[in-house]
Structure formats: structure tokens, C-alpha cells
A and B are shown apart, each in its own frame.
Chain A
């Protein structure tokens, strides 16, 4: 049931993302940069927080009056900074939650990817704790409500000696030191949050922590517009002799607070505990069957480090040579990080299907889907191609073409080494090659689309050789809900290939059957 639910969710996300593609284009699509947006918003919150701290005064009376002063008398800088501070925090909650659901939908949290998911769970708590302590500081009616409800909730836990809520019984009971404590917490918790965010991205390489400049500018303009249209709310001053009246609840941070009037504190803590433990356990509920990790074959590895550069999960490292070969280094794979996406195989210069030895082995290979098998599948698919424009499709299993018939499916489009495309076309196995990957904003293995595009464009080593006519190659980046677009673009590509003059294979297909072992990759 969970997998069908996930599939529906995935299709929902895919449709939403493709819709946003129409407005933003793939480059600026916010759904494709949720993690980076989270980081960006954190820095906005941190920067505006530091600025506000210049004007903020701690103390039972001074706290409110200083916030009132900066919100009203100096609205044009400090007031706007306060609105930025609040709304960027709210957006951070939204971005974090959508990011969480999206990673679940795309099944990017199980197996060796458990680490990022698991370390993301405390982030939720730290974000909420940072925000809630911030609300206390203002000491308006909402702050009073938040302080009382928070302390009542905390008092349910058998941790504190004297009930904290007794500090808010009467105006006389409240000490100015309370604000000092709150300021300390409001600085300390975000610092812990930042540390956890850093840990969160440790098991991915080239973590994107900045959105594109244009999207960043859009967010800043959006925050400014919202700050001018709806300046951050400030209720009347807190008065412990009175019950807070109508308070403007921040529904991003405080959705559970009104529930405390209807649900016992124990049930709320129980729900939060189940939610947290459930999230932590999700990578193993159920555990995903992961293919075996990539394997290094030192006879074919000279430690060139292309696979190290291209691995999206920092699963490959360079280590000193162990086999006495005249190279200083070799690569090693950490099976605890490898998802067997095959990108390393696609980046290895030894991954050449032109090498027609009986046991086609490359420098780094997938045990469950080796290069030799990929070449066999390509040859089998090519043999079944007919018609004037024989187009062979190499398809990422996560994209629109993943379930299509007659295509050669691979875990990631960047698993296809450029020499494979050369092999297909120059040997006349097909008249054209369609590379069908994930949608641009959501490559399942992060860099499959980017690396493939760069290899074809001669921007990333290993390059697709110049001799391969680019008119005979098409890239189709389409999400799982875009089967129709995939079919349309593939058909258009077939037509364009049919219109091309016939390509003379460099080595005729029929003649290749009995060729001796040849390593053409280095030619």
C-alpha cells in the first residue's frame, strides 16, 4: 500500500514540478532546489536576526517596547528586517516539510540514503525550537500565549522540578532573567541547527546549498513585497493579569498549540514521539533491496579520479595504490554509500564497448548490471530495430521512458558511457540514439542529467567524441508523468533522423562479427 501511495505522491509531485517548469523553467524551479532554498532561508533568518539583535532590548518591559519601536518608528529598515525574519522562518518550515515529503515520494530515503533522512529528523525539532523561542522574545500577547502553552506542555514531562508554568502565573512571578535565557536559547538552538544541517549533507557530494541567483532574487523580492503588504504582526503587550485574547497564530510554527485546549499534553507528546520515531525508522520500514555496490577492477583502473568527481554520493575515494601498478592511486568504493546508480561506470574511460574481449571488464563496474550486460542489451535492442530511422533509446528507469517497451533501461542515464553512444552510431547499430533521463529538476541520482549533457557538449570528461554526429543524438528529460511528451519527442527525433543522409558505419555491422579483440577507445 505504501508503495502505491508513494507512486501516487510521486506522480503528483511530478505534475506539480512540470507545471512550475512552465513558469520558472527547469533552472529556477523552486521544487528542484528545496534543500538549497532551506539553506538560503536560514541565512536570511540568521542575518536579519543579527540585525534585529542590535535594536532588541531584553527585559520584561523593554522587550516589547523595543520591538514596538523597531516595528513602528523604524519600520523602513528594522521593521522590514523583522518581517523578513519571520516570513523567511515560516518559509523554511514549508520548504523543509515539502522537501521531506518529496524525498519520501521519490524514495530517496532508504538503503544507503538513510543517513540524510535520519539526520534530517532532528532538523525539524531544531527549526521548531528556534522559531518558538523567537516568539517568546517579543513578549506580546502571542508570546504570552506561546510561553504559557509551551511551559504547560513542558511541565508534563517529568524533567523539571518546579513547574515552569508557575513563572507565568502573575506579572510579579516573571523575572527579567527569563528573557536572557530565551535570548541564549534563540541563539544557541539555531547554531545547533546549522551544525545539524551541515551533518545532513555530509553523505552527498557537491551538495547544493545555494539556489540559483535568479531564484534567490525572486525570494528576496517576494519577501520584500510580503513585508510591505503584511508587516509582521505585533499583538498588544503581554499582561499576565489577563488571558490573551484573539491571538494571531503562526500556523507554520504553532499549529499544535490550539490543540492543547482539546487534547491532553501527554497525548500531544505521545503523538510527537510516534511521529519522530516513525520518521527515524522509515528508512527501514521496509528496508529497500539495494543492488550490490560498484566494484573496482584494478587491472583497468589507473586512478584517474573521474568516478570520484562524478559520484553523487561521495561513495568513491582515492587511496594509495595497492597492486604495484605504476600509478600513484586507485579508487575504492564505500558500499555503505553506494546506491549502484552506475554513474561511475559511465565516467570511467575504460568503460568502452568497443573492447570486444570475451569478458568485457571496466575499471569500475556494477556487479548486478555490468558493462558487458549493458552492451549485450544494447546489441539485442539494436537487432530488433527496423525502418528507415532506427533509433535506440537508452532510458533512465526513473524517467518517462523507464517503463517503455524496446528501450534499454539503466539506473541512471549517466551510466551510459559516451563511448557507448559512439559505439551504437559509428558501428551502425542504430541511426540515432535517444537518451531519455529524468526531468531536469529532479534527477533521481542528482547529477545524471547534468553529467550527460556536459559529456555530450564536450564540457566534461569523458567526452563524447566529435566524430559522433550530434544530429543523431537526442536528449529527452521527462518525468514519470510525461510519457506522452516522451513519445512525441521520440517520434519527432525519428523523423529528423530519417531526414538525415545515410551514415556510413565506420566498421560495417556484418563485418564486425568476426573482428579480433580491439580496443578502440584509446584510438
Chain B
């Protein structure tokens, strides 16, 4: 199944109107849609998200980006549930840029922050329910019957007399009706799809046969492929360029200097790469010529020692007099996202607008940015969202789409900008490094009575260019996962010290601040448990009396992992629990440590409370995926600097977890009728501390700096 971009001319046929209660924007059909429907093979457009064909085929148009998280299955399931669709007839199509696809949580069209199900749970169900009501009304009208005497089942409207009409038979008529202002949604007890196991992903066949089209798979007539020679030191500039040898490479068409660097444009990637290799460039390395990881660590450590803006204060941390006090400094490195598909974008700047093809997480922001880059109106920027070969936050950043658009504008041709793996690894937008200094105190009975943390790290809010550091000076991503410390500790104090070594471009990385702060907090809580002479699970549990959902996942993970029961010789357990993106997740890692000190993770047991689920199979896979992502970083991940240059380049020195290192992963979902939480990220934060805590259990050695194999 391919992903076809929606024809943007359809936008004119979509009326958007706000429905009461939650900023829902839903597109409805207008007179004239029947002409459109004829052009589209007589499919009837029920609303912006849904078309029904006479042969009963149902097409769900999804404005969110599919990057592996399963949104191209989850969104159709939400609609199909309330529509009472025949799931076997449902297909999915990628939507373009449209107000109808504004992410209700972000207020702009974008995919990230584990928001897809949380933001669209109600709106997509309402879209399905509204269409169902229109189909019933059309059937009732045909039969001159009362709509109240009609029900729906698997793509059919059925009258109490037994008469039936299929959705395909009714759609054209139904699409002309005025959509209902309000619709009643199903009680979750009535769900037949949502929350049930066994619904397969809609993109599997395309992704198992090589047919799925990613950004890199776009080929346009007359297209040039570009690679850019980027400054080797962040902030550097080319002062002289000799491109004679580059231009002599067969297939190289043009060499142009742009703000990002020196671009070589050629008939294909290989010629462009050879051309770039042949460039002779003199760089001015600028202010970062001597940037080093040692210097960065010192700067962050000094920030953590000094403290900064107060993020949270409870009790009186200065007056608290613990019977036993421990102090520790923790550190986490910069990380690259390293999506499997290297970053890329194809852009074509024409007289009347810009069209791009990209695996992007941020269509809305890109539309605004590119309209400025190309000097056109936002409405003249057409974005074709392709499948994303991984996202993890990196594809929220605009650098590839800007670069491709600039190059197309200069050359007048369609340009595919490709990052080599080395460009991708060295392309910044890193998870920020952080140093955090913590103190903890116990009373005479061994109960925790003091916790303080000074976090020093760069500000993602400022780096994002669409947020600002709030007036209190505390970057919410800098402290998330530690400011929201759930443990019942009477004296609690959190500070944030903004430090910007090298003014490096930092960015959102799967689970963002939790990716390092949960490692800090959940490792340090383990230290406190050890200082108190208590079991790490029982110690946490005793401090979570007011946090039933934290406690719920903690207990479930411990139970399923047989916490406290014997393990094979040399294997030890560690535990951690984290709330992030609306969901609670606890993980137990079983780890052994080899004679060389290298840890081997044998098994991970995860318990998750994400409220109601759309597709529990995908939830489990997302947790497993998030565990691998976090474990890879915990074991190997670090971007380091020497003489201003990033030392890592490709998968040989920025290592990935591989098949032979993969632990068994078990995921248990807490049954719930609570509102859905996010699921793309919450599995990542607990794994690093769970593994580090298991290593402590195995060796008595406390890991305070990542990566583990650093």
C-alpha cells in the first residue's frame, strides 16, 4: 500500500469549522463535492479524514507522519471504531498540509511528543461517529424510515425490519447531508477494535516488499542530488573554495555556497559525494575551534555546583537535618538520533510556489519556514509527507527542508538534498548533555526526608526557535523527569542552570529531558535505598503512597519479573519507574556483567499504564522499541568533541544495539478506562537507570556517567 499525497486543490472543498469542546477542527463537505467525488472515482468524501467508495472501500486520510509508531494504523482504527466500518476494507492515505490536520495538542500540524493518540482520541472518533450518523440518516431517508430504527454493523446500515444498505451504497447520498453538530460516542465497553489485540498494521505489506516510499525514494525529472560540505566545527564558515576538481567529477553540475556550507549538485548521490570529496575548502573555524568534551563537562559541572533558577521548592531543604546524607554528580552526553534513513528532502521551487517531498514530523512549521525561504505565501507551500525512516524528534527539525529549498531556489531545478551517514551523525540537533548534582537525606528510620537536584544543561526551549525560556528561567525540558520527582519526600528543591557550551544546536530526542533526568533520579533513588539498607523496589514503593499509577506499574513490573526471587548465577535485577508523556512505565532489567566489565542485558520486563489503548499490540511494540532506543544510548551513545570537531561519524564509532545483543522484552499493560497517554516515548526513560541499577546490584559499582561502555 502506497502513501499518496492528498491533492491540495481539495483544500478548497473543505470547510473547516470549530466544534465545541476542545478546539476540534473538522472538515465537512460542501456543495460541489460530488464533482470532486466523480473525479476521484466516485468516492464520497464524508469529511476531511474519510472517503467511502461505492465498492465499500474506506480511505482514511491521516495528516500525522508515520515514522514507525503506528499512527497510520491507530488513526484509522479510531475512525473505524465509531464508524462501525468493516476493518478489512480500510486503507490509509497520507494527508497534505491542511487546517483539518492541526495537532490539537500543538495547535499546528506536526507529529511528536507522543501526542498522536492523546490528541486525536476524541476528534477522530467524532469524525467517524459523524460519518456514521450521516450514513444512517441517508439510509433512513431511502427507506422513509426512522433513523432510530437503524443500526450499523461492519460497514452496513441495518433496519429493524432486516433491510440492509452498505456504506458504499449510501456514501454519495450521505456526503451531501449536513453533518450533525454533536454526536454520541461509544461507551468503551462497546469497543470492538479499540483496546483489542489482533489488528494488524496497515503499512506492513508495503514495508515488507520494498514498495513503501520514503523521502530518499523520490525521483523527479531533471532533479539534481546535492550533498553539502558542512563546516567541520560548529559555527565555522568557508573562507575560500576551490571547486575545480569537484566540477571535473563526471556528473557534477554545480557547486554553490549557501549558509549551511558548500553544496555540490550532481546527477546522482555518488557523483555529488565524489564531488564533495574533491572540494578544497579553507574554513574559518570561529569561536569553537578548541571546543572539547572535557571543557564542556567542566562548564556543566561548574553550573551544577553553582545552581541556578529554582524549579521547585517544598519544605525547607536548607534547614533539613538528615541523619544520613549522600551527594553525587551525574552526567549524560550529547546524543545523535541516528534515524536509519539519513536526513534528506527533495524541494522544487517554482514561480507559483514550493513543493517538497520529505519525511518530516513538522508540516505546519515547515510550511511557514519555507514560505519565508522561497518568498511565497504559506498556502503556496505544498508538502508531500513520505514515510519516515525513523523520526525520534530529529525529523521535527527544519534543516534538511530549508537546505533543499534554498538549493532549488538557486538552481531553479528540483533538488534532493541528502545527508551522508557522517553528515547525519555530525549534524547537531543533539540531545543536550547534562550534569546534575543531587543530594539526598535519610532520617534515623531510613526514610527519605531530603532531595535536591541542580541540573546544568543547554536550553532546548531556546534552541527550538519556537519557544522561549519562561520568566522563571527554568527550561521545562532541562528539568522534566527530575522536577516532577514523584517520591513523597518532605524537603525537595530543584534548580536549573542554563549552560550553552559552544552554543551547540540541541534538540528533542526520544523522551527529551526524561532521557537523562530519569537516569539521574532513578539511579540516585537507588543510591538512597542502598544508603537506607532497603530493597530498591520496596524503598520506591514506600515513597509512592500518594501516586497510585506510579505504584501500579512498579508493582506490576516487579511481580512479572519475579522481583526478589532467585536468578541464575551472575544475573542481577535493577528497577526504575518513570511518568512521561501521559503514561507511567516501570522496567526491570536482568543483567550480568562479564569479566571485562561489559554488561549483558538478558531480559527486560516492562509494565505500562497508558490509560485506554487503541492497539495494544502496537503499544507493546512501541515499548520494546523505546527500550532498544534507550538501551542503545545507555550502552554506547555519546557524541564527543575534540578541537571543535565531533569525534563520531558512522555506525562503527556511534554504535547501535544489534541482534546478538537484543534482550528478551516482555510488556504488560495495566487495564484502564482512563484517558489515553502517549506511547512513543515513555518506554525509553526507565531502561538506562534499570540497567545501571542492575549493574550496581551485580558489582557494587555505581554508574554515574553514561554511556555504560564509555
Do A and B form a real pair? no
